[in-house]
Structure 1
Amino acid sequence: MYLTDLTDAQKEYIKGTILMDNWRSKYDFFLILDAIIYIDVSGSQWRLLPEEYPKWQTVYYYFRRWGA
């Protein structure tokens, strides 16, 4: 989708290193992660997150939660 999106090899590596059994969200883990990486690399504002990703509020929620 975007140049900042994780490759399949990167996703497989992450699956092997992060315990993802407890992921309970209607959004895919990697879609959220790709959105956070997009914001970080592009320097874009949260509210300008492309529509292909979940709402910016959802992505920001996980960004704050994982950063704590």
Structure 2
Amino acid sequence: MPDLAIPERTPYPSDLTDEQWALIEPFVSAVGGGPKEQVHPRREVVNAILYVTRTGVQWRFLPHDLPDWQSVYHSFRNRPASDVAGGIAGVAVVVDPGRNVEAG
């Protein structure tokens, strides 16, 4: 399923770059949850998760220009651990190419 278009907004420092997204996109599948249609672009959901983890803000205090907190939290709680681990390892290599990242 193709991803939805990213809405225009001022990027946050925690947002993924295009290069980082290209590396982790294959690991970030749409979260299953029945017949519901995808409401938010997967990249924006990941950006929202990164915003929470990097700033320490509570889920309910996500900025209004990111996807709603309920959708982001649902995605975070229902994403397989392998998706998260694989994606983060990919981003770590892009951010710090000399870093030794081991899977597992």
For the aligned pair, the TM-score class normalised by the smaller chain equals 0.7 to 0.9
Please identify which structure carries the higher helix content: 1
Partner of 2:13: 3
More displaced, 23-32 or 54-63?
A: 23-32
Kept in 1, the 8 Å contact 2:52–2:62? The answer is: yes
Partner of 1:57: 70
Distance 1:35 1:19 in 2: 14
Name the CA shift for 1:53/1:14 in 2 (closer, same or farther; >3 Å): same
1:9 counterpart letter in structure 2: E
Measure how far apart 1:35 and its partner are.
0.2
Measure how far apart 1:67 and its partner are.
5.1
2:76 counterpart letter in structure 1: F
State the percentage of identical aligned residues: 37
**4+ long deviations beyond 3 Å:** none
Name the CA shift for 1:13/1:60 in 2 (closer, same or farther; >3 Å): same
Please tell me whether residue 40 in structure 1 is matched to residue 53 in structure 2. yes
User: Which blocks of at least 5 consecutive residues in structure 1 are unaligned?
Assistant: none
User: Which blocks of at least 5 consecutive residues in structure 2 are unaligned?
Assistant: 1-10, 31-36, 82-104
* Superposed CA offset, 1:12-61 (max 9, x none): 1123x4274xx351210000000001000100011110011111011000
What is the aligned counterpart of 2:44 among 18, 31, 34?
A: 31
Kept in 1, the 8 Å contact 2:28–2:42? The answer is: no
1:58 counterpart letter in structure 2: S
Calculate the TM-score normalised by the size of structure 2: 0.56
